[in-house]
Amino acid sequence: MHLRGQGRRLNAALIDLKTERNRRVPNPDQIIIAGAGIAGLTLALALSKKGFAVQIFEKSATLAEIGAGLQISPNATRLLDRLGVLERLKYSSVEPEAICLQDGASGERLLHFPIGNRAKERWGAPYIVCHRADLQDALLNEARSHPNIAIQLQSAVTQHGADAAGILVRVQYHDRIEEHRGALLVGADGVWSNMRTATSDAERARYTGTVAWRSSIAVEHLPASFKALLPPGTNVVAWTGANAHLIAYPIRSGQMINFVAVAPDRQNGRRWDVQTNPDSLNQNFIREFAGWHRGIHDVMLIARPWTAWRLFEMKKCRFQIEDRLVLIGDAAHAMTPYAAQGAAMAIEDACALASALSVNGTMWPSALEQFSKVRTKRVGAVVRRGALNHLAYHAKGPVAVARNILLRNRPVEKFVKGFDWLYGYDAEKENK
Ligand SMILES: Cc1cc2nc3c(=O)[nH]c(=O)nc-3n(C[C@H](O)[C@H](O)[C@H](O)COP(=O)(O)OP(=O)(O)OC[C@H]3O[C@@H](n4cnc5c(N)ncnc54)[C@H](O)[C@@H]3O)c2cc1C
């Protein structure tokens, strides 16, 4: 058997940390998942519900507080609900009343899009906002209650190879290499996917030249000038401006406000510090929002540290790599966050894949082909929506004026209708 992949040394610092390793008798029919992020954990749950045995390998020692806030739209919450995860998120997530667009310079309201009850009535599931760590916790806790899901941390999948009997996966666990057999390997290993780059013709994720700055602040510390800019109630608010935008919404049961500010990378490709010091914050980041409303400036200075996330994307999504190797989530289609759909697409991929595999029984090759076809079309449409949002959010000059006129005057019902294809979608049904 020819093995693909690359040798990888585990970070020695991780080795001493807590290990989760619930051992099970090796099962050659099991499905092996590389990565216990949003995509990997959701897939494990969806497969387990359909009777499959699942083994997840996660290279990190702990599934910790990585990331920041996430908006999760009804196309994903309907799936989380079926998996029992939405219930677990009930106390930490928030259902915003509306999504509001405002002008970054004047603070003027451009669009007020009520979403609270509408999401459930029209699209059959809620629109929620939460911390990524709360979502990952809810997925993990649900997974731990399934006896046919085994999770092994500190375990990086480094190589794989297939033969008629199935797939052989090599895993670096502490200082030794383990071998595991399964029927299928799913790479849910994120934007830097080893599973994807192990193939010679693989596309690598491309840097967009744009950075998302993320921070959060306790509600009681919000400056008055910023509070005055907020519409009444609990909302997702986006401020638009030339080449940049800022989004704010509540997380952690509404105790904190999460911020995402997206702007061009003025460092011209030099490495960003993981967290900024106040000087680079002032020089490189706040400067981008120079002409913006005072309330926005005030909150940006208070809500520190800001963590920089360089934004990467792939030009083409790619699901099936080999007969027994499939990618899902960011590994298959890293995308920019303008449509707030990266995690939602990871959740859709996972449920669609489980559905396709269960419906097609032993006919996996055709199931995977069909899955790949349906998901490529769907993700392509979402990526195009993201590109459109990018243009609209960051418009300047006459284009910005035209955008503002359209947003102010177009009936809200027309905007609502324009989201039916996105939020009303049921990924499981589409893959049956
Ligand atoms: C600024 C910003 C804002 C965003 N906002 C939203 C939003 O509002 N709504 C939304 O839906 N999405 C949003 N997203 C996107 C979303 O965060 C991602 O799309 C999503 O987290 C991807 O999940 P994943 O499981 O595919 O990958 P990840 O979460 O990256 O998980 C991959 C996992 O694989 C593990 N791994 C890697 N290599 C190996 C290996 N060799 N072996 C074993 N394990 C391995 C990693 O340690 C990790 O745990 C946003 C993204 C950004 C940057």
Mutate to test the pocket of ligand 1, among 93, 189, 383, 385 (most ligand atoms within 8 A of CB): 189
Query: For ligand 1, atom 14, which residue shows the shortest CA distance?
Result: 342
Q: What is the pLDDT of residue 118?
A: 94
Sequence-distant (6+) residues with CB within 8 A of 135 are 38, 70, 72, 85, 89, 343
Best of 169, 262, 330, 425 for a ligand 1 pocket test (most atoms within 8 Å of beta carbon): 330
Answer whether residue 177 is part of any domain. Answer: yes
Q: Is residue 243 part of a domain?
A: no
8 backbone dihedrals φ, ψ, rounded to 5°: -140, 130
Nearest CA to ligand 1 atom 39: 189
C-beta of 313 in contact with ligand 1 (< 6 A) = no
Question: Domain residues for 372?
Answer: 4-69+134-205+316-388
Question: Can you tell me the distance from the alpha carbon of 427 to that of 412, in angstroms, rounded to the nearest whole number?
Answer: 26
Contact between 214 and 258 under an 8 Å Cβ cutoff? The reply is yes
Count other C-beta atoms under 10 Å from residue 414's C-beta: 8
How far away, in angstroms, is 33 Cα from ligand 1 center?
Answer: 14
Q: State if residue 32 touches ligand 1 by the CB under 6 angstroms criterion.
A: no
Chain-centre distance of CA 221, in angstroms? 28
pLDDT per residue as tens, the chain (432 positions):
666 664 332 222 222 233 444 444 457 689 999 999 999 999 999 999 999 999 999 999 887 666 689 999 999 999 999 999 999 999 999 999 999 999 999 999 999 999 999 999 999 999 999 999 999 999 999 999 999 999 999 999 998 888 877 899 999 998 899 999 999 999 999 999 988 887 766 778 899 999 898 899 999 999 999 999 999 999 999 999 998 999 999 998 889 999 999 998 876 554 444 444 545 555 567 778 888 999 999 999 888 788 888 899 998 899 988 888 999 999 999 999 999 999 999 999 999 999 999 886 666 788 899 999 999 999 999 999 999 999 999 999 999 999 999 999 999 899 999 999 999 999 999 876
Residue 199, domain CATH? 3.50.50.60
- pLDDT, residue 67, reads 65
Structural domain count, the chain: 1
Specify the pLDDT at position 2.
62
Residue 409 lies in a domain: no
β 325-327/184-187 pair status: parallel
255 domain-assigned: no
Ligand 1 proximity of 74 Cβ (cutoff 6 Å): no
Name the phi and psi angles at 250, rounded to 5.
Answer: -80, 145
User: Domain for residue 211, yes or no?
Assistant: no
pLDDT at 65: 61
In a domain, 342, yes or no: yes
- Judge if the beta carbon of residue 343 lies within 6 A of ligand 1: yes
For residue 148, is it within any domain? Answer: yes
Residue 120 in any domain: the answer is no
**Whether residue 344 has its Cβ less than 6 Å from ligand 1:** yes
